[in-house]
Structure 1
Amino acid sequence: MRTVIFDLDGTLADTSGDLLAAANHCFRAMGLGDVLTAADAGVALRGGRMMLSTGLERVGQMSDATISEYYPVLLEAYADAIDTHTVMYPGAMEAVEALKTMGYGVGICTNKPEGLAETLMARLGVRNEFASLVGADTLPVRKPDPEPLFEAARRAGGTPEACVLIGDSDTDRKTSANAGVPSVLVTFGPSGEDMAALKPEALLDVYSDLPTVVERLIGRN
């Protein structure tokens, strides 16, 4: 079976608001106030450690020890309010349903911790629409190592060499390149204007185009 594997943050859902809130919770605990703003959505989608390092650099207090200390605090704060602001991108689930109707297996490969990803997708009411979910800690390695992508494809009922990765970052582009499979990078996220420079096999402006793009890249089952 051919499979379509999605990144989560910045690809299926805009999670930046809740991620930024969790980071600012940490900065307030440090006595720094709210350091990150909505303009840092692109930073948020690169993960908790990136948010902490960016904020600390901004106020001239960069410290690896501080990042290590507050990363668990950030994860706890995020878990407590994981779906306050998060929304699925327009047309995402309609595209997923169309792909399944066409016979593709559909899964998720994210660098969000698996437990948080499972919780978020369940809270959004869409977890059961995906045959697999592989997170940052599901395996000993994470993206851009290709093995999490391969595992997501296998768990979705497919073979690793017959998948396509839908993502929004250089990490996703590197993952697909390392796996030797095509990537489709979305242009509607915070870093959308940077995606063309990564030279993916396709760019995606709207989710309604995805079934056609996938069929062109990997054929049909």
Structure 2
Amino acid sequence: MADICFDIVGFDLDGTLLDTSTDLAGAVNHVLMRLDRAPLPVETIKPFIGKGARRMLERALEATGGCTETLLEEWHPILLDYYGDNLCIGTAPYPGAVAAMDALTARGVRLAMCTNKREGFARPLLDALGLTDRFAAIVGGDTLGPDRLKPKPDLIHEMIRQAGGGRTIFLGDTDNDTIAARAASVPSIAVSFGFVHCTPEQLGADAGIDHYDELVPLLERWPA
């Protein structure tokens, strides 16, 4: 069995570890229907995810008749309230994710989470799926404050600190993740099955995977 040269493997949440698109789309469409706008398909909403719920709603409003700052200020809290009450109806880990996490833990690798999703949403969601205890650190968009979100490196630095430090690699599905990792001097892996359909090269990642079955072998091959 080959060694893994990382102490910490960090994960983004939405579109990387978990497919949250159904429940996030449900929250967006709740707002749209209350505004007498037509709901959007989940596949249309997926690319809107990843830069915070406010930006997700803004893009959905722009796509369905227009968005103003006043409209956004009024309906963003309503979206968050609805999502908080419906966190885990259709959400699930991506295929092979839990097995890969267990394999890494068995090898002595610490797992950590860094997401722009509010920690107040991320923790209950991971609790509902029975995943919380697998993580040495869970850092969310409200952990340090709204001006510290990815693509800034602050949340990744905090994730590493909370997880006990050491050589780290980070998995994500957007350029928010790869830019933040690079700024934190951390290599990154892009997942192809997330919400943004780009190649690892387009996202600026150091490598990519198409399925979680590929993660441990990739890390075993990573140069020490």
- Whether TM-score is above 0.5 comes out as yes
Aligned to 1:115: 120
Instruction: State the Cα distance separating 1:196 from its structure 2 match.
Output: 3.2
Matched residue of 1:149: which SS?
helix
> Superposition RMSD on alpha carbons, in Å?
1.6
**Bigger CA drift: 193-202 or 164-173?**
193-202
Question: Paired residue for 2:162, among 141, 144, 155?
Answer: 155
Aligned to 1:85: 90
Matched residue of 2:222: which SS?
helix
Aligned to 2:110: 105
Amino acid at match of 2:99: E
Mapped pair 1:128 → 2:133: yes
Question: Paired residue for 2:29, among 13, 16, 24?
Answer: 24
**Bigger CA drift: 105-114 or 193-202?**
193-202
**Bigger CA drift: 5-14 or 145-154?**
145-154
Unaligned runs of 5+ in 1: none
Q: CA contact under 8 A between 1:105 and 1:158: conserved in structure 2?
A: no
Per the normalisation by structure 2, the TM-score is: 0.90
Per the normalisation by structure 1, the TM-score is: 0.91
Amino acid at match of 2:156: L
Percent of aligned pairs with the same amino acid: 38
How far does the alpha carbon of each residue in 1:52-103 deviate from its partner, in whole angstroms, 9 at most, with x for none?
Answer: 2222212332212211211111111001111111110001011111111122
Unaligned runs of 5+ in 2: 1-5
Aligned to 1:174: 179
In structure 1, distance between residues paired with 2:56 and 2:186:
30
Aligned to 1:212: 217
Instruction: State the Cα distance separating 1:182 from its structure 2 match.
Output: 0.3
When the two structures are aligned, how many residues end up with a matched partner? 216
Stretches (4+) displaced over 4 A: none
**Bigger CA drift: 202-211 or 8-17?**
202-211
Q: CA contact under 8 A between 1:164 and 1:218: conserved in structure 2?
A: no
Aligned to 1:48: 53
Amino acid at match of 2:83: Y
In structure 2, distance between residues paired with 1:214 and 1:69:
45
Aligned to 1:190: 195
